Amino acid sequence: MPSPEAPFDYNTQRPRLLIPEYGRNVQRMVEHCLGIEEREARTRNAHAIIQVIGRLNPQLRGGENMDRTLWDHLYIMSEFKLDVDGPYPKPTPEELDRKPERVPYPKREIRFGHYGKLVERTIEACIALPEGPDKEAATVQVANLMKRQFLAWNRDSVGDGVIIKDLADLSKGRLRLDPGQPLASTDALLHTQRQGPRNEMDPRKRHFADKQQQNGGGGGKKRHRNRKKKRY
C-alpha cells in the first residue's frame, strides 16, 4: 500500500488527452515518437502507432478515407509537431477546424402537407412514363399511395373521389382517373398500417416453428402428471 505521504495520481492532474477515445497509453506512444531523433526510426514508430489506433477504431474499417483519418488523428495527438514521412501531407489546425458549407434547405412549398414530398416526386415520375397500360397501372398505384398517406394523417374514412381529385390537382391535370375507378379499401390500408412492416423470422426459428406446427403445437415435450392413486 502507498504511504500516506505519497500523493495520489488523479487524471485531472495529468496532461489533457487530445483524443480521449484512444486513451493515455496511445498518447504516451505519440509522445515517445516525438522524442525519437532519427527520422527513419520515427517514421517506423508512427506507422506502428497507426496500426494500433486502427485496431482501436474498427468502425473506420472499410471506409473511403480510413487511412487519411487515422493519420489526421495521429497529427492531432502530436499537436501537429510530428515530422515523419507519412503517406499524406500533414494537415494544419485551420484545415481540420474548417466548418462544412451550409446545406441549402429546399424552399419549395408542398401543396398538400399530408401527402408529402414523396408523393409529389412519385407523381412527377409517373407523368414522365410513356402512355399505355403501364402508365395507367402506375397512376392507380400512385392514387393508392395518396390514400394511404391521407389515412395516416386522418384515420377517418376518405372517399376515392377526393383522392382522384387531389391527384388531378397535383399533376396539373396530366394524371386522371375515371371517377368510378376503385382504389384500395380503407379497411385494408388501415390494417396494413396497424400491422407495420413484417420482420423476417430467423430461419432456425422458422424451422422450429414449423416442427411445432407439425407436432400439433405441443412444443415437442410431453408433460407427465404424477397422479396419486387412491388406496382402498
Residue 127 buriedness (CB in 10 A; 0-12 / 13-18 / 19+): middle
Structure confidence by residue, pLDDT tens digits, 145-159: 998 888 887 767 788
| Domain locations in the chain as residue ranges | 11-96, 116-195
Q: Evaluate whether 186 touches 154 at the Cβ level (below 8 Å).
A: no
Q: What pLDDT was estimated at residue 220?
A: 47
Average pLDDT, the chain: 80
Half-sphere exposure of 161 (CA within 13 A, CB side): 2
Structure confidence by residue, pLDDT tens digits, 27-80: 999 999 999 999 999 999 999 999 999 888 888 776 678 888 899 999 999 999
- pLDDT band per the 50, 70, 90 thresholds, residue 215: low
Structure confidence by residue, pLDDT tens digits, 98-128: 888 888 876 767 778 888 888 889 999 999 9
Stretch 203-225: mean pLDDT: 52
Single pTM value for the model: 0.44
Structure confidence by residue, pLDDT tens digits, 67-91: 888 999 999 999 999 999 999 999 8
Q: What pLDDT was estimated at residue 210?
A: 56
The span from the CA of 180 to the CA of 169, in Å, is: 18
